[in-house]
Amino acid sequence: MGTALARAAQWTAAGSGTGTLEITPLNESLLNQIITFAEDFSTRHPQEAAFVFREPLEWKTQLGCSVFGEGYDINGATVQSEAKGKDDQPLLVLTGSTLRVRSFDQLSCLLQIAMEKKLKEAQACLEANRDPIVKILGPEYGTVEEDTSMLHLLDKVKKDDDPETDIKRKIFLLLHQLDLQLLNSSLKHISQDVRLNPAAINNEVNLLKNFSGKGEETVLESLEYTSDYTFSNGCRAPPWRQVHGEICYLVIKPHDTDPLYITCSTAGVFLNGGELKGKDDIDYERKSYVYKDIVTFLRERSPRFVENMAKQEYNFFKEPTYEKNYQRMEVVDAKVPGQSQNLYDFTKKNVCEKVKSSAARRRSIDKKKLEPSMKWKNTGLCASHSDKAAKKDTEEEGRSSAVSLKIKKKASGISSESVKIQPASKCKASGKFEDISESSSETEEDEEQPIRHQEGNTDLPSEYWGIQKLAKYLKGGNPTATVIALCSMRDFNLAQETCQLAIRDIGCLEVLINLLDTEEIKCQIGSLKILKEISQNTLIRHAIADLGGLQIMVKILDSPDKDLKCLAAETIANVARFKRARRTVRQHGGIKRLVGLLECISVGSTSLTLYQGKDTEIARCGALALWSCSKSIKNKEAIRKAGGIPLLARWLKCSHANILTPVVGTLQECASEPSYRLAIRTEGMIENLVKNLSSEHEELQMHCASAIFKCAEDKETRDLVRQHGGLQPLSVLLGNSENKRLLAAVTGAIWKCAISGENVSKFREYKAIEALVGLLIDQPEEVLINVVGALGECCQEPINRTIIRKCGGIPPLVKLLTGTDQALLVNVTKAVGACATEPENMMIIDHLDGVRLLWSLLKNPNPDVQASAAWAICPCIENAKDAGEMVRSFVGGLELIVNLLKSKNKEVLASVCAAITNIAKDEENLAVITDHGVVPLLSKLANTNNDKLRRHLAEAISHCCMWGSNRVTFGETKAVAPLVCYLKSNDPSVHRATAQALYQLSEDPNNCITMHENGVVKLLLAMVGSTDEALQEAAAGCIANIRRLALATEKAKYG
């Protein structure tokens, strides 16, 4: 571990002192690995964990005494562990902010206690103990730079006369293994870094300067170097900083933040300390993470930069000149037959020039690969090609003949057709930069990035050279030769990546796309069959889009040839897996054409004629393409406007699984939109979705369940699923635990359907609850989230809570409280809270320390988790045997929950008020939370219009009045007058809680005066006649107190 810290970890180079660990991804990765090692040490190596260190590890901690619980003696600002060494000294001592730890066992416990602060603690420990092995085992085990061999170190162990030699040896070996692991991890991390150079930074600065200035539409106000002097190596940083890899320093003034002082280094771009006051120098210390370039840094720091960047005209995003000059072929009519030979020669010359241009372009890209890669910049077809392959390709191209593909008979005779060379910019998409507001359900996974593979010119398989030989016939043959070349190319295994990249590298991809623009049907079909296969590759998909292939394929959808339309639609389905491609399809009218492919008279037929079968195949391919395109919100809307919903509904009645799968896939993708959910319900599609849950095809079942999962947010849909018998097949599918994607969809559908009580009764009848409990163990998180969500809904009924207990479901639920997934934590806290309403269940939860785990989740930074945990704590306190003592046993727990009253989230505030209501039922706990300032914090919340918060706040105030002078304090902190307004709410539960709070507050004369001044008597008189006895009694009691005060005042005044 000492070697890794010395050689791999990144320490601050600037400043004075011993140095600190920098905030870098590499350091964070190393720290996380060390934390994992230390946390698991006591479990994996219990004997070694008990070993007492030679010297304690000592550092300044951020932890307070309150975080330590059982196993520790707390005396003021000092904490000592109950566990002691042979010298009868505690193994952990906290004095003020100084922490000393003497064993791995205590180190492991400390990291578990630290929770979200464990990273900071590990960092502080390692900064204070640069060679921790010396402290743990002794100075003779320290990191030796001259001789780090295992023989040298084991020799030390052998000579050691210490009786604990064997344990020391084992600990040393474990630490040495960790050292090797950390060094290996850092090596992998460093090898992935792309280093910047002065030219790349200068290019990026100049580009940003072109779009900076005082205008509102500019991306920045200004961007300047701190030094005008440039050294011979292109750097502007002084030589003593260049040795640290620093290149230059910039002052950037965004529109929406203070000036940013940044350092550009070979490792990337980061924020420095800015100008030093009174000195002509800057603070070189790193103050942020390292970003790969200036644009990435600014995107994180300035929302206005991102917004204005998207508004710039096309020239801001224009491609390099070598892209614009790139040529492609387009077939046009030759009017004069006599000119065919001259055009033949002209074409031959230009095809050769094209290949040379292509090779030169690829070399140009390779030379520039260290330059910053802007996200708004279309990179084009980025392909590297070996010199050997390029040379061979060029030689063969020089001998090839011109392409003459389009032969057409005219009334006056046969005229030959030839090829016209045009700049690719005319045939590409309209080149507009990506619309940042495009996405919908598109995730990082949807927005795929092409990965450049490391390719060399050696050891290439025979298929690569075979495809290269075919290239000359494909590029320079007549139509017949071209068709034969296409057929021969299909004989290769096009699913193999080598073949796919060979087609791209040799320049065949451009030719295949050009062939689509001819009128030779056979050439078009052959080209599309190849493109359909190779477009499974991410690089090829992006290349096809960059070369304008999608636009041509969209036009082909209008072709009368059915085979051609099918192939075009299938290829679009493959290519449109990333955002820019989906937008291209929409912008060129592709969505309307694809919806048109769904129009067919054979829907619902059981036996199809050949003609009808072809129509069905066209519809299947169209549905596949729509499925890929439907991952965008704008495309979903375009499908709806093009009349896609009724056509999808018609095809849903079909019995053929091969078309049902893409149809249902499209529907479930679109079901995230409310308009589609309404249409699915009103068009009668729920019945067909339920019917296909019983299909033999698991993929179809999965998409049907997923569609129901999304649509069952609406009560009407949940009722329809039950009425059409969909709950039983969903319950049956729980038995298929092998297919995790299907299981996730099915459990999601059950979860949403279980929101309706009638459905829960059916699920109990079908034994679904027992099956769900069985899925609480050894399942991926996407399944667990839905399983726990479903159990949480089922737990609303008492009988189901008993079933979960009898099936052994409570222990795994409690165990899940230690997870990290936010959605899972929200669901599991709800389920545990619902189970806790049964006293028998509560005993099990308390025995498993479930309440402590719930309380610890109040520290979670996610407001949804905080609120859900607080709601779950309420029934736990209500049903625990000795609730008061249990709550007091949580060190710092009461202070934590009181501090949550400072939250800005209404749901968190309501849930915490509900928890305080239950806590305040115990007099000792009420006294403690009063000391923590609960009264003024509750008073601050009184001015709210949220009825849910009003109700629980009023209940909390009512119960907090029971201690000392809290009634008086509520009056002094202006909580009484706003409470009177609560009586005007339309919610009866708010009336009851408010009346009870006012009754308690009215025991203080000053509060009675405030209430009377705010017109409480008239409001309460109307409630005295309520059928709610609790409200009736509280209202009457409050009026009585006000009346007694009035009588006493009159008596004192008039005698």
Three-class DSSP category at 75 = strand
Tokens of 218: 């500019």
In sequence order, the β-bridge partners of residue 982 are none
Token pair, residue 597, equals 């492919």
Rounded CA separation 346/124 (Å): 73
Mean residue pLDDT across the chain: 80
441's enclosing H/E stretch is none
What is residue 11's predicted lDDT score, i.e. its pLDDT?
A: 64
How far, in Å, CA of 727 to CA of 39, rounded? 44
Q: How many CB atoms lie within 10 A of CB 443?
A: 8
DSSP-derived letter for residue 14 is S
Paired residues of 95 in beta bridges:
78, 98
Which residues of the chain fall below pLDDT 50? 13-17, 144-151, 153-154, 157, 313-441, 443-446, 452-458, 604-607
Amino acid letter, 912 = V
- Class of residue 180 by CB neighbours under 10 A (exposed 0-12, middle 13-18, buried 19+): exposed
Between the CA of residue 506 and those of 354, 383, 490, 511, what are the distances in Å? Answer: 12, 10, 16, 10
- Contact call for residues 575 and 540 (beta carbons, < 8 A): no
**Residue in 45, 61, 57 with CA at minimum distance from that of residue 113:** 61
Return d(Cα 579, Cα 632) in angstroms, integer. 8
The string of DSSP letters for 41-54 reads HHHH-HHHHTPEEE
Contacts of 754 (CB under 8 A, 6+ apart): 760, 763, 790, 793, 794
The residue to which tokens 């025979």 are assigned = 462
In the chain, the amino acid numbered 164 is E
* Measured distance CA(684)–CA(700) in Å, rounded: 18
Token pair for 784: 């667990």
Distance separating alpha carbons of residues 969 and 940, to the nearest angstrom: 12
Q: How far apart are CA 411 and CA 409, in angstroms?
A: 7
Buried (b) or exposed (e) across 971-984, using 16+ Cβ within 10 A? bbeebbbbbbbbbe
DSSP reduced 3-state for 725: coil
Q: What is the pLDDT of residue 830?
A: 94
The string of DSSP codes covering 232-255 is: TTS--S-HHHHTTTEEEEEEEE-S
Contact, 348 vs 400, CB < 8 A?
Answer: yes
Nearest to 490 by CA among 506, 472, 474, 510: 474
Please name which of 570, 508, 515 lies closest in space to residue 543, comparing C-alpha atoms. Answer: 508
Are 364 and 395 in contact by the 8 Å Cβ rule? The answer is: no
Alpha-carbon distance 616 to 598, whole Å?
8
Tokens of 91: 């193994």
User: Residue 10 to residues 14, 22, 28: CA-CA distances in angstroms?
Assistant: 12, 6, 10
Name the residue among 705, 805, 810, 682 with its Cα closest to residue 753: 705
Q: 185 exposed, middle or buried (CB, 10 Å; 0-12, 13-18, 19+)?
A: middle
Give the DSSP per-residue string, 375-428: TTS---------HHHHHHHHHHHHTPPPP----EEETTEEE-EEEEEEEGGGTS
**Residue 842, pLDDT score:** 92
| 3-class secondary structure, 221 | coil
Report which residue type is found at 855: W
- Cα 28–chain centre separation: 19
Identify the CA nearest to 901 among candidates 948, 973, 953, 825.
953
pLDDT at 146: 41
Strands 268-271 and 274-275: unpaired
Q: How many helices (H) and strands (E) does the chain have?
A: 56, 15
Phi, psi (deg, nearest 5) at residue 18 = -80, -10
Q: Are 1008 and 1049 in contact (CB under 8 A)?
A: no
Whole-number CA gyration radius for the chain: 36
Helix (H, G, I), strand (E, B) or coil at 744: helix
Spatial CB neighbours of 779, under 8 Å, sequence gap ≥ 6? 737, 740, 743, 787
- d(CA 910, CA 944) in angstroms, rounded, equals 11
Pairing of strands 222-225, 98-103: unpaired
Closest C-alpha to 58, from 9, 15, 87, 96: 96
Tokens of 781: 């998180």
Q: What is the pLDDT of residue 22?
A: 67
pLDDT in tens, 767-791: 999 999 999 988 999 999 999 999 9
Q: Is the pTM of this model over 0.85?
A: no
Return the number of other C-beta atoms located less than 10 Å from residue 86's C-beta: 6
Other Cβ atoms closer than 10 A to 114: 18
CB of 355 closer than 8 Å to CB of 393: yes
Strand partners, 74: 79
* 924 contact partners, CB below 8 Å, separation of at least 6: 884, 888
The answer to whether the CB of 101 falls within 8 A of the CB of 110 is yes
In the structure encoding, which two tokens stand for residue 768, read together? 């679904």
Structure tokens at 1032: 């009736």
According to the model, what pLDDT value does residue 874 have? 93
DSSP notation for 122-148: HHHHHHH-SSHHHHHH-GGGS--SS--
Give me the residues paired with residue 176 across strands: none
Report the pLDDT value the prediction gives residue 1055, as an integer from 0 to 100. 56
Count CB neighbours of 774 within 10 A: 17
